[in-house]
A and B are shown apart, each in its own frame.
Chain A
Amino acid sequence: MKYKTLILVLFLYFLTLFQGSFLSHFDIFGASLNLVLIFVCLLSFFEGSYKYSGIVLAFFAGFFVDIFSKSYLGASILLLIIIYFLIKQAIYILRDVSKKYSIFYFLPIFICSIVFYDFFIGLVSGQPILFLPGIYILSAKIIYNLFFAIIGFYIIKKYPALVL
């Protein structure tokens, strides 16, 4: 288990590098892909509301994002851990009632997560996002990230052992 966590931490490190150096060439309408956030959301969603072992991964995900961004160390760590716990609460209410891992539960949760993350990371950097151009970019970001989040959702649903 610890061995697997170590591999996933390394995976997150390379995912952050890939996101910053490779995927930044593929911004659409100024919106960039946040694979690390997608990973944390999927991890928390599929882990269920009673397990918390993924918190270590959420911590390292935030740590690597903070290292490779201009924000203070801790901003993304705290945000990703909060998102991790909020998703747990959401699936406690949604999924555990029906005992299903439905995409229709995951999509609104993911959209809320990306809005939450973008709003607060902007706030931490002193950049309020709630004005019109920001909303356009945020919408593009949601659609762009949603596409890859759905692909990730079905991959993990089919091969849960990859991350759980």
Chain B
Amino acid sequence: MNLNIKKRRIPKIIVIALALILALFILNFFRSPVKNFFYLVSSPVQKLFWKMGDNVSALFNGSLEKEISDLRQKNQELLDQLSLLDQYKKENEDLRTALGLNLQKDFKMVFSQIISKDASEDSILIDKGAEDGIAKDMPAIDRQKVLFGKVSEVYNNFSRVVLISDKSSVFDAKVGNKEIYGVVKGEGGLNLYFDLVSRDADLQINDVLTTSVLGGKFPNDLLVGEIQKINKEDIKPFQTADIKPFFDLSKTDDLFIITNIKR
């Protein structure tokens, strides 16, 4: 009896499963407007939750943490200036030798607010989209020129930014003042590492990594992070290093999207 009921149910279950898969397949053609609609409806609540999360996490971390955060911010500004000075020094040398002009223009940027983070992957949602001039692959930075990631999906009024710590993220970087080049790879969970660095390179703890224009993904000299641990093995042709990223989602509300990317 039970077996008969089960046998009768099987075609019904198969039909329902196929219908579901078909419906989901079709729904993906309208993914962009569907997602944009939900983001539009939900963004006030999401902004409220994000602000609350910010305040509560600040409360948990206490005033000491705030002081550290302020110092960190100041440190990043100084590092940024240092990186800029290095760049000017090099430009100056280039100009002396080549007598050419290569002046860097300021970025054109769009201000945006973070409204949510993906629980399973390293990506965030911001409240600016195609209507605000955002396009795929544009870099996202904060006011200290700390690199967060790049735009991966653009909807009408919202965009998704894949963080540099996402497992799909790979880009060229350098230790600015030492001319050491390598590749920064994301390993998920907001972690990064520096790979493909020549074994002879004099990599040190606390060395500051900035983006390199070599890979063509990001503009030059955006701040990435600092070297935390160096991994050098005799059998490997390259050395690697763990990076402590400069970006901190728990203390950031606003991002700037570079719209006139000059690679």
Q: Which of B52-84 contact A (CB under 8 A)?
A: 52-54, 56-57
Q: Take A14-B45, A17-B45 as given contacts and tell me if A125 and B249 are in contact as well, using a CB distance cutoff of 8 Å.
A: no
Q: Smallest Cβ distance from A94 to chain B, in angstroms?
A: 21
Please, how many angstroms separate the alpha-carbon atoms of A40 and B121 in the complex? 20
Q: Smallest Cβ distance from A78 to chain B, in angstroms?
A: 8
Q: Take A21-B49, A68-B38 as given contacts and tell me if A34 and B24 are in contact as well, using a CB distance cutoff of 8 Å.
A: no
The reply to whether the CB of B207 lies closer than 8 angstroms to some CB of chain A is no
Please, how many angstroms separate the alpha-carbon atoms of A29 and B121 in the complex? 14
The reply to whether the CB of B206 lies closer than 8 angstroms to some CB of chain A is no
Q: Smallest Cβ distance from B247 to chain A, in angstroms?
A: 13
Most chain A beta carbons < 10 A, residue from B35, B42, B153, B168: B42
Please, how many angstroms separate the alpha-carbon atoms of A34 and B120 in the complex? 8
Contact status B116-A20, CB under 8 Å? yes
Within 8 Å CB of B34, what residues of A?
67, 73
Which one of B24, B125, B188 lies within 8 Å of A137 (CB-CB)? B188
Contact status A19-B119, CB under 8 Å? yes
Contact status B117-A118, CB under 8 Å? no
Within 8 Å CB of A160, what residues of B?
none
Within 8 Å CB of B53, what residues of A?
21-26
Contact status B120-A69, CB under 8 Å? yes
Which one of B31, B117, B188 lies within 8 Å of A20 (CB-CB)? B117
Q: Smallest Cβ distance from A117 to chain B, in angstroms?
A: 8
Please, how many angstroms separate the alpha-carbon atoms of A144 and B24 in the complex? 31
Q: Take A72-B31, A127-B121 as given contacts and tell me if A25 and B116 are in contact as well, using a CB distance cutoff of 8 Å.
A: no
Contact status B24-A73, CB under 8 Å? yes
Q: Take A34-B120, A118-B120, A121-B120 as given contacts and tell me if A134 and B35 are in contact as well, using a CB distance cutoff of 8 Å.
A: no
Chain A, 30-67, contact with B by CB distance < 8 Å: what is the 0/1 string? 11111010000000000000000000000000000101
Q: Smallest Cβ distance from A67 to chain B, in angstroms?
A: 5
Within 8 Å CB of A100, what residues of B?
none
Q: Take A17-B116, A121-B120, A125-B121 as given contacts and tell me if A25 and B57 are in contact as well, using a CB distance cutoff of 8 Å.
A: yes
Within 8 Å CB of B21, what residues of A?
74, 78
The reply to whether the CB of B202 lies closer than 8 angstroms to some CB of chain A is no
Please, how many angstroms separate the alpha-carbon atoms of A21 and B52 in the complex? 9
The reply to whether the CB of B152 lies closer than 8 angstroms to some CB of chain A is yes
Q: Which of B123-148 contact A (CB under 8 A)?
A: 123, 125
Contact status B168-A126, CB under 8 Å? yes
Q: Smallest Cβ distance from A26 to chain B, in angstroms?
A: 6
The reply to whether the CB of B150 lies closer than 8 angstroms to some CB of chain A is no
Q: Smallest Cβ distance from B198 to chain A, in angstroms?
A: 23
Q: Take A127-B121, A134-B188 as given contacts and tell me if A21 and B25 are in contact as well, using a CB distance cutoff of 8 Å.
A: no
Within 8 Å CB of B120, what residues of A?
32, 34, 69, 71, 117-118, 121-122
Contact status B49-A34, CB under 8 Å? no
The reply to whether the CB of A27 lies closer than 8 angstroms to some CB of chain B is yes
Q: Which of B165-216 contact A (CB under 8 A)?
A: 165-168, 187-191
Contact status A68-B24, CB under 8 Å? no
Contact status B187-A34, CB under 8 Å? no
Within 8 Å CB of B116, what residues of A?
17, 20-21, 24, 68
Please, how many angstroms separate the alpha-carbon atoms of A152 and B152 in the complex? 35
Please, how many angstroms separate the alpha-carbon atoms of A65 and B153 in the complex? 16
The reply to whether the CB of B115 lies closer than 8 angstroms to some CB of chain A is yes
Within 8 Å CB of B47, what residues of A?
21
Which one of B20, B121, B187, B249 lies within 8 Å of A25 (CB-CB)? B249
The reply to whether the CB of B18 lies closer than 8 angstroms to some CB of chain A is no
The reply to whether the CB of B102 lies closer than 8 angstroms to some CB of chain A is no
Which one of B25, B46, B115, B118 lies within 8 Å of A69 (CB-CB)? B118
Q: Can you show 11 pairs from A to B with CB atoms below 8 A apart?
A: A17-B46, A17-B116, A21-B45, A24-B116, A25-B249, A30-B191, A71-B120, A72-B31, A125-B168, A127-B121, A133-B191
- Closest 4 pairs (CB-CB, A-B): A30-B189, A74-B24, A21-B49, A20-B116
